[in-house]
């Protein structure tokens, strides 16, 4: 597998990019757009490659047959396409929107007919400019006073209406053009708004096509509008999630100079899109928001975007997973670095494939054009859904009921419940609730809730909140890891978190954290990851045999390698009884409070191994000591440097994730030559899938 992801991000173990494939020579320097499935690819390209004499045309390529449809030629506008313009494609690739002769056209590829959507105005369209049914088209065009405005064309009525002004009176740029949700319900666009940082700052707006209603999208969780400019919006298929770039420093923590954000219009939350472990994406000179062209899949889970995260002068492509809060590189160059010159992403409906424009060094020897990177995320199947509510309240379709009973068999085929009886359910009947799941809740007066299930990998969604009261501070862990946190406000009455977790003890465990106050659970969705049939996983805590074992972990107390009687075989090259349980208040939890020495006289060259199937693994290793800062690490997993450097008062622990390959049936952890008094706290590993099934 190698380590190429690690410098930029934590890679989700079951979300890997396959080799990037070359699609077509067209689209090297212009935006591309794909249909819902990725079968059809549209872009603007020179009519005759290598010469500009014949102008430019809009082409739609069928990847299944290899046939290329010259849309502008069929529309009677051959060679007249705006060379630098974007193309928009409906979900079934029937409808194509493009600019030619400074007009915007809608072309029906089935009927072979065209309409001028711009109705005689000097106009330009962007990507994502047409609804899936081809009824609505959004574009930008000036009015008589040269103020640039956004417009909506309705194919059914053959009419145009204005939906708002843009940032300024200058010529349209791609970052200032509107887009539309695939269901046609919402138009999203940037426009001036005096509530922002200055009269010349722009906010992101949503316009309802059915009612004409307008809302500001670029607000933080307390309702304040962005204090600096916002651009480059993209919207999920149903309009719930909007992603945009902004220089604003007041939208989300960790982004004092702005960044790339996602707004949840349903729950009111706003998230900074950033690579885990890679630092914030801010809008300094090297990371200008003008460069962050982004696209979002239909469900709002995946965002593909371009940014300069790795090298200040190098634009690369990334894919962010909202449910995992993890960022991945879309394409690498021959040196294993995020490739320069990969731009203009277009993502399929399911988020599994990212198409993009690329220069010749994306694939040396192939030349520039359009490329596609396909990801393996693992398929999921619903396992259980639980709604927290009073007995007798209406049960949402497909959900089990939890009304606060202590853990036990519920008589519905499942066992779940609380650490103690918790009869604190509520049914608010509040008009602000999106549906019954958000209207009902149980107070977490008992701090722990569990659900019995087979060991494995699960996608978990947890929603907390209250439609009637904003008196909660949420701090929830799932499987001992931070999962959901935040303060409720009138603008954000619910918090919803998504993560992929590994269960190793037969119970999914939710627990309140130390900052929690008056937390209320609304519902939990559990999906089992089925596309990773043979994923091997283990969590090992290094500790004395008599110490409490952290939930979900197995203990290692220094024994020689052998079968441990828990389904795993692991241990040391020689007896290593040098464990400690510090009982220190500086330890965040038991995992950090216990440890084992790797260089004591009892075993001065200690080496630890665990038997695993051969393959690639993601490994998390934590080393340190809550009571002493006397270690320098040179710890290696399968020879790969993992923990490197000294500890200090802050941090007392080193915590790193690496990808390694195992070829001999054992994963090996040992010291390098620079280690001094190394101590191992705990280790987590999971096998990385090579494909679905």
Give the residue from 299, 325, 345 where a domain finishes: 345
The strand ranges marked E within 209-279 are 214-216, 230-235, 241-246, 259-264, 270-272
Same structural domain for residues 576 and 519?
A: no
33-70: pLDDT as tens digits: 999 999 999 988 888 766 656 688 899 999 988 899 99
Same structural domain for residues 218 and 337?
A: yes
Whether 30 is in a domain gets the answer no
pLDDT at site 424? 97
Give phi and psi for 644, each to the nearest 5: -140, 115
Same structural domain for residues 413 and 438?
A: yes
Cβ neighbours of residue 118 under 8 Å, at least 6 residues apart? 103, 104, 105, 139, 141, 151, 153, 160
pLDDT at site 392? 95
Same structural domain for residues 394 and 317?
A: no
- CATH of residue 496's domain is 2.60.120.430
pLDDT at site 166? 57
- Our count of domains for the chain comes to 3
Same structural domain for residues 524 and 551?
A: no
Same structural domain for residues 389 and 494?
A: yes
User: How far is Cα 114 from Cα 484, in angstroms, rounded to an integer?
Assistant: 50
pLDDT at site 5? 26
15-34: pLDDT as tens digits: 444 456 777 776 556 788 99
Same structural domain for residues 514 and 436?
A: yes
pLDDT at site 311? 45
The H or E element that residue 437 is part of is helix 436-439
Give the residue from 476, 495, 529 where a domain finishes: 529
CA 195 from chain center: how many Å? 30
Q: Write down the pTM of the prediction.
A: 0.69
User: How far is Cα 463 from Cα 481, in angstroms, rounded to an integer?
Assistant: 16
Whether 628 is in a domain gets the answer yes
CA 653 from chain center: how many Å? 27
Same structural domain for residues 472 and 555?
A: no
pLDDT cut 90: percent of the chain above it: 53
pLDDT cut 70: percent of the chain above it: 84
- CATH of residue 199's domain is 2.120.10.30
Same structural domain for residues 336 and 472?
A: no
283: confidence class by pLDDT, cuts 50, 70, 90: very low
495-553: pLDDT as tens digits: 998 888 889 889 999 999 999 999 999 999 999 887 554 457 899 999 999 999 998 89
What is the domain range of residue 548? 537-687
Give the residue from 529, 550, 565 where a domain finishes: 529
Half-sphere exposure of 246 (CA within 13 A, CB side): 38
Q: Is the pLDDT of residue 693 over 50?
A: no
400-442: pLDDT as tens digits: 999 999 999 999 989 999 999 999 999 999 999 999 999 999 9
**Between 489 and 197, where is the model more confident?**
489
Instruction: Provide the token pair at 154.
Output: 């309705």
Cis preceding-peptide flag for 651 (omega within 30 of 0): yes
Same structural domain for residues 158 and 247?
A: yes
Q: What is the largest CA-CA distance in the chain?
A: 86
Same structural domain for residues 581 and 549?
A: yes
């Amino acid at each position: 597998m190698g380590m190429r992801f690690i410098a930029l991000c934590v890679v989700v173990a079951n979300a890997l990019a396959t080799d990037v494939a070359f699609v077509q020579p067209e689209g090297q320097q212009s935006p591309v757009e794909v249909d819902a499935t990725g079968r059809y690819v549209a872009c603007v390209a020179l009519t005759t490659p290598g010469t500009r004499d014949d102008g430019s045309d809009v082409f739609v390529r069928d990847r299944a047959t290899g046939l290329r449809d010259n849309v502008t030629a069929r529309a009677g506008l051959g060679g007249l396409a705006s060379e630098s313009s974007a193309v928009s494609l409906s979900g079934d690739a029937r409808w194509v929107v493009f600019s030619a002769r400074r007009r915007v056209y809608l072309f029906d590829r089935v009927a072979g007919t065209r309409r001028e959507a711009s109705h005689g105005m000097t106009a330009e369209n962007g990507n994502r400019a047409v609804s899936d049914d081809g009824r609505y088209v959004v574009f930008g065009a000036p009015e008589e006073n040269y103020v640039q405005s956004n417009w909506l064309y309705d194919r059914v009525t053959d009419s145009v209406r204005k939906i708002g002004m843009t940032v300024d009176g200058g010529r349209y740029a791609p970052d200032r053009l509107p887009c539309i949700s695939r269901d046609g319900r919402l138009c999203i666009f940037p426009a001036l708004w005096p509530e922002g940082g200055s009269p010349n700052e722009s906010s992101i707006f949503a316009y309802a096509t059915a009612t004409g209603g307008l809302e500001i999208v670029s607000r933080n969780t307390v309702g304040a509008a962005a204090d600096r400019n916002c651009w480059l919006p993209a919207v999920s298929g149903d309009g719930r999630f909007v992603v945009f770039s902004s220089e604003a420093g007041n939208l989300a923590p960790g982004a004092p100079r702005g960044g790339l954000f996602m707004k949840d219009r349903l729950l009111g939350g706003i998230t900074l899109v950033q690579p885990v472990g890679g630092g914030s994406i801010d809008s300094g000179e090297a990371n200008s928001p003008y460069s962050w062209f982004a696209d979002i899949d239909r469900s709002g889970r995946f965002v593909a975007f371009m940014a300069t995260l790795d090298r200040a002068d190098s634009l690369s492509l990334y894919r962010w997973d909202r449910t995992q809060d993890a960022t991945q590189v879309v394409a690498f160059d021959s040196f294993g670095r995020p490739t320069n010159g990969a731009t203009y992403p277009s993502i399929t409906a399911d988020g599994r494939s990212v198409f993009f424009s690329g220069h010749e060094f994306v694939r040396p020897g192939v030349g520039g054009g359009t490329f596609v990177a396909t990801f393996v995320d693992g398929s999921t199947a619903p396992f259980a859904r639980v709604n927290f509510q009073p007995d007798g309240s209406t049960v949402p379709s497909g959900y089990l009921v939890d009304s606060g009973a202590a853990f036990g068999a519920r008589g519905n085929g499942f066992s779940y419940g609380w650490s103690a009886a918790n009869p604190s359910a509520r049914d608010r009947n509040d008009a602000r609730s999106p549906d019954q799941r958000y209207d009902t809740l149980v107070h977490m007066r008992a701090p722990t809730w569990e659900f019995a299930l087979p060991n494995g990998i699960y996608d978990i969604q947890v929603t907390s909140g209250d439609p009637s009261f904003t008196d909660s501070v949420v701090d929830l862990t799932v499987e001992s890891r931070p999962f959901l946190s935040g303060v409720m406000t009138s603008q954000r009455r619910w918090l919803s978190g998504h993560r992929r977790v590994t269960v190793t003890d037969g119970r999914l465990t939710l627990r309140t954290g130390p900052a929690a106050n008056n937390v209320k659970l609304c519902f939990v969705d559990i999906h089992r990851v089925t596309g990773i049939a043979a994923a091997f996983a283990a969590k090992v805590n290094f500790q004395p045999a008599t110490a409490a074992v952290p939930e979900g972990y197995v203990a290692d107390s220094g024994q020689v390698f052998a079968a441990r009687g828990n389904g795993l075989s692991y241990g040391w090259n020689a007896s290593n009884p040098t464990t400690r349980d510090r009982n220190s208040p500086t330890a965040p939890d038991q995992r950090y409070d216990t440890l084992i020495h790797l260089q004591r006289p009892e075993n001065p060259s200690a080496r630890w191994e665990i038997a695993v199937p051969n393959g690639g693994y993601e490994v998390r290793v934590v080393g340190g000591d809550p009571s002493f800062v006397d270690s320098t690490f040179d710890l290696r997993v399968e020879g790969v440097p993992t923990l490197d450097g000294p500890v200090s008062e802050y941090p007392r622990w080193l915590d790193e994730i690496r990808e390694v390959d195992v070829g001999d049936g054992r994963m090996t952890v040992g010291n390098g030559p620079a280690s001094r008094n190394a101590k191992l706290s705990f280790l987590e590993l999971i096998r990385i899938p090579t494909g679905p099934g």
